[in-house]
Structure 1
Amino acid sequence: MTHRKGSGRIASRLAAVLVSGTLLSPLPALASAGPTHAAAAHVTQQKSGWTARPADYPGTVTRTDLAIPMSDGVVLRGDLVLPADADGAPVDGRFPVIVTITAYNKSSGNVSGGLTGAAPDYLVERGYAHLTVDARGTGSSEGQWAAFSRREDKDAGEIVEWAASKQRPWSDGKVGMNGPSYLGMSQIFAAGSQPKGLKAIFPQVPAADVYRDVVASGGQIDVGFIPLWLGLVTGTSVIPPAVTATDPESGFGALVSHLTAAGTFTIPLMLKALLGGDEAYDGKFYRDRSPGRVIGKVQVPTFLVGGEFDIFQRGTPLLFENLQQRGVPVKMIIGPWDHLEGSAASDIDQAGYGTLDELQLRWFDRYVKGIKDPTLDSDIAPITSYEQGSGDWTHADSWMGDQHAESFRLTGAARAGGGIGTLTEGDPDQHVEAGTAYVPPVPVSGLCTRSTNQWTAGLPEAALADLPCWSDNAPNDKTGVVFQTDPLDHTVRLRGPINARLYTSSLSGDGLLSVSVSDVAPDGTVTRLTGGWQTIAQRKLDKRRSRYLDGQLIQPYHPFTRASKQPLASGEVAPVDVEIFPTAAELAPGHRLRIAIQAFDVPHLSPTVQDLPSTLTGLTIHNSDTYPSVLTIPGL
């Protein structure tokens, strides 16, 4: 994995906000198997013949806290950046407008760690206007924040139409949108309402299904990222609104509303989830807040950026697939990035297409300004993804195209702290050596791993970059049980989601299966490629919404409702399908493929208070002809 410039600076800034803010938590399957396309070609970098055009204007000028009235009377506030002449005066004329909607306070600037989006100057100097708007209940905007509520969803479309209106003397009626994370998800919601004037969007690291992507991976509550995120939103929201100086009534009212929301939305939501209330289960609350709910209505060209170690590692490819299958112009770059790195996209030029500014300029010039770009599709593949192991940037026409299911049976016995079992490739119905493996409850499993870094948005590795545990998972694997192949005699390549069907028993009837898939080098270094999680009691499978490859389950879908929760009976052994989040990797000859299973993933996940006792008994993995535990990968 290459290491990235700028991530330490971004992380330190975000950390400052989290320390100063209040640390408060939380917040449908989108695609079936797609059409078959050519497999990804091996290349290290694709050089585009396109060259970014020079600036049209020498500078920019900013107008702050424009009032943007919503249909319910609430006033949102936005900062507008316009092209300026050499004297710093705004240039007369109408321009296409790039809109960014943020929950991190448009006035926070560097303090927000770059999560307010890229600096607008590059695009503005090339003939765009840029409008950054504080979401309802954040920054200088009035109202109470409720994290992608239906009302905020409606706001997004209304903001676009306000910016596109010819009543704005600086707007030519054409709008694009950009920004990462929350700002990226706002774009999906805006585009889903199909507002007049919206021509294209450029979401970085967006979610698809917030419950499965981040809030409760596998059915336990995310206590790693969600409190940090809510602390960031809350912390930046209580900064006194800048508009108070010019509109005291609006500014004071906004601040009071923001403070009230912390007590009426964020804190109660977190407590209810951890106490096992309805907020701990999937349902309307999370569906309303998932971009997957509206992605089927998005019609505008969309450029997606994702990260292999991002908190939305699972969801971004699902958004891509939905758009591509419906014929919407779409491209996606997935790099070796965590959430902060994917948000900054400072290393996106390694994919071979230019910097983030240049990519956005090209996308918006083509689809917002309507400038002809006959080589856009030949220069930029539909999918460009970083391949772990080889270090190559690979190109493909589809996310799931020429893959085939490759199965590895768990065989023999394994024990925590040693005693490695075997993964055997071949016929899933073949006879294997039977065995059992007890997974002990070790409450520090997961600590100081790539999972730790991923689910705290990349802050730990940025602060302590030299810790060996970020790159070697071997110590953590000893806190659970391990199965691995013999040294490979051929290259194994994969791209996409992975499934582990583990026949499991538990004295308590429940518990967490925390699964990692790794590449073991000949020198014994264990590189964690990806991971997945599943509580035993929520093992119920929705086959209609699950994905299959060559007739084998590759991406399970679990309902995660209160009604679907069913602990194991005493002595019962049942199959539990663990959704392992998608990745792209190459394992070279001489390396080994490994699956490791633990009963905790700290500090990522926590059981609810009522489920905590059931996680303390451990669990047992069974493998035999009667109980054929198997790891299934999407091989290339």
Structure 2
Amino acid sequence: MSRLDRTSAEPLPRAARLAAAALGRRWKLPAPLGPVKVLRDQDAPMRDGTTLRADVYLPSTDGPHPTVLLRSPYGRGAAFAVSMAVPFAERGYAVVMQSVRGTFGSGGEFSPVVHEEHDGQDTVVWLREQPWFDGRLATLGPSYLGYTQWALALDPPPELKAMVLHIGPHDLAQAGMIDGAFQLTNLSIWTDLIAHQEQVGFLRGLIRLGTAEQRLTPFLGDLPLQGLAERFGGNPAPWFDEWLSHPDLEDPYWDRYRATPAVHSSTVPTLLIGGWQDWFVEQTLYQYAALRDRGVDVGMTIGPWAHLAIDPAVTTPESLAWLNTHLPVAGAEPSEPRKARVQVFVTGARTWRKLPDWPPATADRTWYLAPDGRLADEAPAEAGETTFRYDPMDPTPSVGGRVLAGSAGQRDNRELEARDDVRTFTTPALRKPVEVQGGVKVRLHIESDNPYADLFLRICDVEPNGKSINLTDRLVRLDPAPAEQPSKGPRVVETTLPDTAHRFRAGHRIRLQVSGGAHPRYARNLGTGEPVGEATHGVPVTHRICSGGAAPSSITLPAV
């Protein structure tokens, strides 16, 4: 294979230089070491004869460089390059932005994540022959680019010295079926993005992404769900109907969508960056715990962000510092090792906390559900109940939370909580602040008259003005088997909501919100037991939440 001609690199366009300089000042990055040049449309051969295309951003200094690899399905446009490649190239790294198979000039057919293990390995084989590669490699990037890093780490090449993952999953199957329910909003928006991204320009693509929730929501109420992606238009997206037809995560079909073994075998120093309202926050926390437990050099930062709102003013300096610790650049002062392994943003307190580990030591504090909608310090002595009815043909809507939309994150839930199919349980105004760090446990004694049903559980912070702000939530798919047995009283539902870090201020109230679903974030449980993609009608369910007496339902917060 012929070696690339280093002199074929072209200068970075003036607009890109000015934008990079502005971002460097805004993000408070170290001073650049020099200008950047670009090798456009470099071809890397794969083992099956397919060729993948990349742009390479190089420092102007002579000699080979430590190299940062970004493998993306979202193109190599100027905006992506200026924010994700140029800041690192200006500070001494060769940065390779490669389009994955079947996207933006790379050959082959795109199939989500299934080719990334071998294509990543073959890309490293190509890197070894490049004159600008000094034999030290790091990987970097958000979301899908995070998965490509775990795919490479399934069999990490010896050159791989560091990984930096922003809001990135290792298990696409689990991400698509969080809590056992099809992630309808997220998978629809992502599929629509992929199906149209090469048919529209960058600005129009941003507009489409910003309006995706509004554009697609009318389709998401249609039944059956099979064929939904075709109604979105754009390039074919056969994976959507395939995923609908494989609701069982134990199905071997899903094996090709997982890089989980890498999380349990990798010894590569890894920086994890996530958000409390991110689609993949549970996977980020899982990755951290698995690496930490094996003594791997791992750091973790969790901000207040949703998936589309991660803050590069935080993530870029931290990423650069991690790289400069593990792949120091000649002419730059090496960064000191990260002093605090964990850094989390505490919402409510609106501050960052540096911690030696996650979760920190906490003391459980329990409140008990009362039939009048209170959360009480002690369980009511007398038994009581709270009922509500969920109708899948008029489903409880989703508000905020972990979705790929501008409406994601913390939102006012008052309108939602006023619905007849939502119940809330709330503490009195707090006399002292309560700070939570970790997962909230919910224990409910409940009876349901339909064996096929869900519960959507959410913790909210109620401000003195009545505004109810969501913090963390989970859908629980009830196992139909116990409900088919002769009745022996209410079943016990126990679950832990995804971790959070939040301070309930004095004067605020803590609220548990309970409903039968959150549509279209989760595909609704139609109550018939039919396959999720094929069902065409729904059957309602009435839930009876028991409290007090012999069946004390409760929530338990990990309080600092």
**TM-score where L is the length of structure 2:** 0.80
1:73 aligns with 2:49: yes
Distance 1:301 1:201 in 2: 6
Return the match for 1:584 from 491, 501, 520: 501
CA distance, structure 1, for counterparts of residue 338 and residue 240 of structure 2: 44
Change (3 A) 1:272 1:192: closer
Q: Counterpart in 1 of 2:216?
A: none
**1:626 matched to 2:554:** no
Q: SS at 2:360's partner residue?
A: coil
Q: Residues of 1 paired with 2:113 and 2:482: CA distance?
A: 31
1:105-150 Cα shifts (integer Å, max 9, x gaps): 224x44xxx5x7933122212221110111122222222222222x
- 1:137 matched to 2:102? The reply is yes
Q: Does 1:450 align with 2:397?
A: no
Q: Provide closer, same or farther for how the CA distance between residues 633 and 284 of structure 1 changes in structure 2, counting only shifts above 3 A.
A: farther
Report the Cα distance in structure 2 between the residues aligned to 1:605 and 1:567, rounded to whole angstroms: 22
CA distance in 2: counterparts of 1:117 and 1:287, whole angstroms: 35
Q: Cα deviations across residues 354-410 of structure 1 (Å, max 9, x unaligned)?
A: xx43322222121012777574333xx211111121112112111123123333222
Q: Report the Cα offset of residue 211 of structure 1.
A: 4.0
Q: Distance in 1 between matches of 2:334 and 2:148?
A: 27
2:35 equivalent to 1:54: no
Tell me whether 298-307 or 489-498 shows the greater mean CA deviation. 489-498
The answer to whether the aligner puts 1:271 opposite 2:211 as a matched pair is: no
Alignment of 1:297 onto 2:265: yes
Contact 1:269 1:279 (C-alpha < 8 Å) held by counterparts:
no
Paired residue secondary structure (2:555): strand
Q: Quote the Cα distance in structure 1 between the aligned partners of 2:538 and 2:484.
A: 11
Q: For 1:435, which of 363, 380, 384 is the aligned residue?
A: 384
> How far 1:566 moved relative to its partner?
6.2
How far did residue 442 of structure 1 move?
5.3
Higher relative contact order (CA 8 A, sep 6+): 1
Q: Aligned partners of 1:567 and 1:236: how far apart in 2?
A: 46
Residue 474 of structure 2 is matched in structure 1 by 532
Q: Determine the structure 2 residue equivalent to 1:199.
A: 161
The 1:333/1:169 distance shift into structure 2, 3 A limit, reads same
Match of 2:183 in 1: 222
Partners of 2:349 and 2:396 in 1: CA distance: 26
1:117-136 to structure 2, matched below 5 A, reads: 118-136=83-101
> 1:157 matched to which residue of 2?
121
1:595 to 512, 534, 543: 512
Mapping 1:248-287, distance limit 5 Å? 267-274=237-244, 277-279=245-247, 281-287=249-255
Structure 2 unaligned regions, length at least 5: 1-27, 202-228
- Displacement of 1:532 in angstroms is 0.7
Give how far 1:527 is off. 1.4
- 1:403 — aligned with what? 362
After superposition, the Cα gap between the structure-2 partners of 1:631 and 1:94, relative to the gap in structure 1 and judged at 3 Å, is same
Counterpart-to-counterpart distance in 1, 2:278 and 2:432: 29
**Structure 1 residues 153 and 615 mapped into 2: Cα distance closer, same or farther (>3 Å)?**
farther
- Check whether the contact 1:512–1:615 (CA below 8 A) recurs between aligned residues: no
Query: CA shift at 1:431, angstroms?
Result: 5.6
Aligned to 1:474: 414
Cα deviation, residue 533, structure 1: 0.5
Q: Distance in 1 between matches of 2:171 and 2:548?
A: 35
Q: Which residue of 2 aligns with 1:182?
A: 144
In 2 relative to 1, CA 608–531 (structure 1 residues): closer, same or farther, beyond 3 Å? closer
1:433 to partner: Cα distance = 3.5
Residue 385 (str. 1) matches residue 360 (str. 2): no
The alpha carbon displacement at 1:239 in A equals: 7.4
| Deviation for aligned residue 1:519 | 1.1
Quote the Cα distance in structure 1 between the aligned partners of 2:247 and 2:116: 19
Please name the residue that 2:207 is paired with. Answer: none
- Once the two structures are TM-superposed, the CA of residue 189 in structure 1 deviates from its matched residue by 2.0
Contact 1:96 1:171 in 2 (8 A): yes
Find the counterpart in structure 1 of residue 135 from structure 2: 173
Superposition RMSD on alpha carbons, in Å?
Answer: 3.0
| C-alpha separation in 2, matches of 1:407 and 1:287 | 39
Percent of pairs identical after alignment?
23
Greater shift after overlay, 606-615 or 318-327? 606-615
* Paired residues of 2:167 and 2:273 also in contact (CA < 8 A): yes
Q: Secondary structure at the match of 1:233?
A: helix
Distance apart, 1:623 and its partner CA: 2.3
Tell me by how many angstroms 1:221 deviates: 1.1
Corresponding position of 2:460: 518
3-state SS of 1:323 partner: helix
- Asked whether the 8 Å contact 1:441–1:615 carries over to 2, the reply is no
In structure 2, relative to structure 1, the CA distance for the partners of 1:266 and 1:571 (3 Å cut) is: farther
Q: CA deviation at 1:311?
A: 0.8
1:499 matches 2:441: yes
The one-letter amino acid of 2:89's match is V
Distance in 2, matches of 1:575 and 1:121, equals 54
2:326 alignment partner in structure 1: 367
Q: 1:316 to 1:377 in 2, by over 3 A?
A: same
Supply the AA of the counterpart residue of 1:54: A
Instruction: Specify the code of the residue in structure 2 equivalent to 1:496.
Output: G
Size of the aligned set, in residue pairs, is: 491
Deviates more, 1:491-500 or 1:364-373: 364-373
Contact 2:475-2:517 within 8 A present in 1 as well:
no
Partners in 1 of 2:538 and 2:550 — Cα distance? 26
How far apart, in 1, do the equivalents of 2:172 and 2:148 lie?
13
> What's the CA shift for 1:517?
0.2
- AA paired with 1:158? D
> How far did residue 577 of structure 1 move?
2.7
Q: Which residue of 2 aligns with 1:487?
A: 429
Distance 2:557 2:473 in 1: 13
Q: Take 2:170 and 2:388, find their aligned partners in 1: how far apart are those partners?
A: 32
For 1:433 and 1:217, the matched residues in 2 are separated by 36
Are 1:311 and 2:279 an aligned pair? yes
What are structure 1's unaligned runs of at least 5 residues?
1-50, 85-90, 241-258, 349-355, 414-419, 463-469, 539-564
After superposition, where does 1:310-389 map in structure 2 within 5 Å? 310-342=278-310, 345-348=311-314, 356-369=315-328, 373=334, 375-378=336-339, 381-389=340-348
Correspondence for 2:39: 63
Q: Is the contact between residue 161 and residue 197 of structure 1 (CA under 8 Å) also seen in structure 2? A: no
**Selected match of 1:423 from 355, 365, 375:** 375
For 2:281, what is the secondary structure of its paired residue? Answer: coil
Query: 1:52, CA displacement in angstroms?
Result: 5.4
1:145, 1:579 → 2: CA distance? 36
CA distance in 1, matches of 2:367, 2:538: 29
Secondary structure of the equivalent of 1:336? strand
Q: Is the 8 A contact 1:509 1:569 kept in 2?
A: no
